């Protein structure tokens, strides 16, 4: 049974915050969302310019829970269709299916490299019988299951490039949650025989809005929240958290150049932990401050290329592991929905992982557009004269949490401190420092609302925490 209505303030209008707010509104609880950006949506926002609609890279809606898939459709209110997923790796002028399929790898790799791959795998299997390789970092996790040759070809090169640190400094958690295949033999079996329990990797269809890009989902939530009496205050960054004892007592946010105070019975934060915890001020213990300093995010520079052609490739996204190329992934929005570009045109998002202040982050927009175009020409994916003048750039500070070797310990210290506040929860991708997908963020929002309303249901912090594939 739900409690009597109590007021709720939610920090951050991404999918976790929006989905939680929608649940509270449906139960008749007063809700206010404070969002720093001009519109709610977070990383799942869309933008319109010169007849193009574009997202922050590729997004797809899919859940193993049919109840959640039905919820997506309700929020989109008929503005959705199914897409047949196609994602590949482009390397050495060849395409490889992603996830890896044995027949594709056998066909595309030269015989000597295939022999070396299987030989390496055999050596690793024998070694593991005598002295198992520990799962103590990303590199060891992959080599133990695939051998060194395939590790370097498909896994290590891309991961080093994307995160800018050696794979020995990345937690094995990253591998467990981004690679569903158990080992090389598992790849062969899943190619030859259809698995009974289809993992997320093998999902062939996903939902995507017909019009308006993935941002239509956030807009749908805002409509539902406002129809339920809730408020979404955009352009309102939180600057300070007031607290006394074990309770949060107020939120100070800026709006139109002035500070405002928001109070409620319950507070839910979905903003990055590294921003949120310092807002408590001097009361934060030194060890918690050190733990916050130990958490690292990787940013992304999204470069949008306008192309004078109807399609570049049929793929929704393509991974580019080659280290001499700055771009690490591309996506093409017209493959998600034809309404995202003028007729006869297409728009490609070229992503470059970056850290605030580095050479790509500070590079002039025009130079980034030029660099991305040149990268795709070098790879043989694009003709230089296909690129139209203009193009755009968007920079995302908190794109990915980096699972380094110390993140678990640091995160545990922070979470223990935050659990000391009786009327506050931190959730979502940013609030849990967890790399999940859109459906995970929405499920986290639902879970924290459900537990608050009814004291029942799964703990929001348990979602996307297991060793399961999230890609």
pLDDT in tens, 118-139: 899 889 989 989 999 999 999 9
Residue 255 lies in a domain: yes
Residue 261 lies in a domain: yes
Alpha-carbon torsion 360, 142, 399, 285, what sign?
negative
What average pLDDT does the segment 392-397 reach? 97
What average pLDDT does the segment 461-470 reach? 67
3-state secondary structure (DSSP) of residue 154: helix
CATH number at residue 353: 3.90.660.20
Are 348 and 361 found together in one domain?
yes
* Sequence-ordered alpha helix ranges (H) in 305-364: 359-362
Q: What percent of the chain has pLDDT over 90?
A: 81
CA pair distance 175, 168, nearest whole angstrom: 12
For 159-215, write each residue's pLDDT tens digit.
999 999 999 999 998 887 766 555 665 655 454 455 555 544 445 799 999 999 999
CA pair distance 441, 181, nearest whole angstrom: 24
Spatial neighbors of 310 by CB under 8 A, at least 6 apart, are 334, 344, 345, 346
pLDDT of residue 146: 85
pLDDT category of residue 471 using cuts at 50, 70 and 90: very low
Nearest to 395 by CA among 415, 368, 422: 368
pLDDT at residue 36 greater than cutoff 60: yes
β-partners of residue 306 are 347
pLDDT at residue 357 greater than cutoff 90: yes
Residue 445's CB: how many other CB atoms inside 10 A? 29
Paired sense of beta strands 87-91 and 317-319, if any: parallel
Phi–psi pair at 336, nearest 5 degrees: -90, -40
CA pair distance 335, 447, nearest whole angstrom: 32
Are 291 and 416 found together in one domain?
yes
What average pLDDT does the segment 24-40 reach? 98
pLDDT at residue 154 greater than cutoff 90: no
Q: Outline where DSSP puts E strands in 79-176.
A: 81-84, 87-91, 94-97
Residue appearing with tokens 């467990």 = 176
pLDDT of residue 240: 98
As given in the structure block, the two tokens for residue 293 are 């300093």
Residue 338 lies in a domain: yes
pLDDT of residue 203: 59
Q: Which domain holds residue 274?
A: 8-42+213-295+403-462
Q: Average pLDDT, whole number, for the chain?
A: 92
Are 307 and 339 found together in one domain?
yes
pLDDT of residue 188: 54
What average pLDDT does the segment 241-253 reach? 98
pLDDT at residue 386 greater than cutoff 50: yes
What average pLDDT does the segment 63-82 reach? 96
For 297-355, write each residue's pLDDT tens digit.
999 999 999 999 999 999 999 999 999 999 999 999 999 999 999 999 999 999 999 99
pLDDT of residue 104: 79
Q: What percent of the chain has pLDDT over 70?
A: 93
Residue 83 lies in a domain: no
Are 328 and 312 found together in one domain?
yes
pLDDT of residue 114: 85
Are 349 and 428 found together in one domain?
no
pLDDT of residue 194: 54
Lowest mean pLDDT among 120-134, 403-417, 434-448, 454-468: 454-468
Residue 395 lies in a domain: yes
Of residues 175 and 41, more confidence is placed in 41
pLDDT at residue 470 greater than cutoff 90: no
- Give the chain's domain count: 3
Which of 364, 384, 401 delimits the end of a domain? 401
pLDDT of residue 2: 58
Residue 89 lies in a domain: no
pLDDT of residue 202: 45
CA pair distance 136, 138, nearest whole angstrom: 7
pLDDT of residue 168: 97
Are 302 and 354 found together in one domain?
yes
């Amino acid at each position: 049974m739900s409690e009597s209505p109590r007021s709720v303030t939610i920090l951050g209008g991404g999918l976790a915050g929006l989905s939680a707010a929608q649940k509270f509104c449906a139960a008749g609880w007063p809700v206010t969302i404070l969002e720093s950006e001009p519109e709610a949506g977070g990383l799942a926002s869309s933008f319109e310019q010169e007849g193009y609609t574009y997202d922050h890279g590729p997004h797809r809606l899919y859940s193993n829970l049919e109840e959640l898939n039905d919820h997506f459709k309700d929020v989109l209110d008929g503005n959705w269709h199914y897409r047949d997923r196609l994602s590949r790796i482009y390397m050495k002028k060849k395409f490889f299916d992603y996830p890896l399929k044995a027949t594709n790898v056998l066909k595309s790799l030269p015989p000597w490299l295939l022999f070396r791959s299987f030989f390496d795998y055999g050596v690793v299997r024998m070694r593991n019988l005598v002295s198992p390789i520990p799962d103590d970092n990303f590199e060891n996790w992959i080599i133990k299951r695939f051998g060194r040759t395939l590790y370097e070809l498909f896994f290590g090169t891309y991961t080093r490039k994307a995160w800018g640190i050696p794979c020995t400094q990345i937690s094995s958690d990253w591998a467990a949650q981004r690679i569903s295949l158990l080992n090389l033999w598992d790849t062969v079996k899943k190619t030859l025989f259809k698995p009974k329990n289809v993992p997320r990797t093998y999902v062939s269809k996903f939902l995507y809005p017909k019009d308006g890009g993935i941002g239509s989902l956030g807009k749908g939530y805002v409509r539902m929240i406002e129809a339920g009496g809730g408020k979404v205050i955009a352009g309102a960054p939180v600057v300070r958290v007031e607290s006394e004892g074990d309770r949060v007592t107020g939120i100070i946010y800026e709006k139109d150049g002035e500070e405002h105070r928001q109070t409620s019975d319950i507070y839910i934060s979905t903003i990055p932990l590294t921003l949120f915890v310092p807002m408590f001020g001097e009361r934060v213990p030194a060890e918690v401050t050190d733990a916050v300093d130990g958490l690292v995010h990787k940013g992304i520079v999204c470069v949008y290329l306008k192309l004078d052609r109807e399609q570049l490739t049929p793929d929704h996204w393509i991974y580019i592991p080659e280290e001499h190329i700055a771009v690490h992934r591309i996506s093409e929005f017209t493959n998600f929905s034809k309404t995202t570009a003028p007729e006869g045109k297409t728009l490609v998002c070229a992503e470059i992982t970056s850290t605030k202040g580095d050479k790509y982050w500070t590079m002039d927009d025009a130079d980034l557009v030029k660099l991305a175009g040149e990268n795709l020409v070098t790879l043989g994916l694009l003709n230089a004269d296909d690129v139209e003048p203009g193009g755009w750039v968007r920079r995302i500070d908190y794109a990915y949490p980096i699972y380094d070797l110390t993140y678990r310990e640091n995160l545990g210290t922070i979470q223990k401190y935050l659990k000391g506040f009786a009327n506050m929860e931190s959730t979502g991708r940013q609030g849990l420092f967890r790399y999940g997908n859109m459906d995970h963020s929405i499920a986290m929002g639902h879970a924290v609302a459900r537990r608050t309303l009814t004291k029942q249901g799964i703990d929001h912090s348990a979602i996307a925490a297991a060793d399961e594939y999230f890609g």
